[in-house]
Amino acid sequence: MAVELHHTFSTGKSPDESWASILDLDHVVSSVEGGRVVEATSPTSVKAEIKVKMGAMSLSYNGTVEILEQDNAARRAVMRVKSREVGGQGFANATVVFTLTDGGGTIDTTAQITGKAASMGEGVMVGVLDALINDFAGKLAAL
């Protein structure tokens, strides 16, 4: 199942401070509810895990988060998330585009999700993903 979401966020930080925060994968991953970095594999890639609650079900995923593109002048970064469901056959992969502006920015997410999470139905899955990204966007101001 494919999902596309668009979010905006505000921050009181300067664009340079926000840009540095976006490029710090340890801070970005740990700002996602249930997410944590397991190991840094390079300056632009980490192994990570996330635990997601979907209704009565709790799912765990292991994978990688990687910065694919980084345009410092435009303050635009493209990240790829590739993960597999722990103990299951599903996966949750996403491309996330961060674009910073004065006072905030946008987060555009294109996700492909299969397995148990997708079996919950599109409405539930989109609701959980939307809430996860909204929570993350709220935490960007504190990065």
Q: Residues 68, 76: contact at Cβ < 8 Å?
A: no
Domain ranges, ordered by start, for the chain: 2-140
Q: What's at 8, amino acid-wise?
A: T
99, HSE (Cβ side, Cα atoms, 13 Å): 8
pLDDT tens over the chain, length 143 residues? 899 999 999 988 888 888 999 999 999 999 999 999 999 999 999 999 999 988 788 999 999 999 999 999 999 999 999 999 999 899 999 999 999 988 889 999 999 999 988 888 888 888 889 999 989 988 876 76
Quote the CA–CA distance of 137 and 143 in Å, as a whole number.
10
Q: Residues in the chain, how many?
A: 143
The predicted structure's pLDDT at residue 37:
98
Block residue for tokens 């944590």: 36
The predicted structure's pLDDT at residue 143:
61
Question: To which H or E segment does residue 128 belong?
Answer: helix 122-140
Q: Name the CATH superfamily housing domain 2-140.
A: START domain (3.30.530.20)
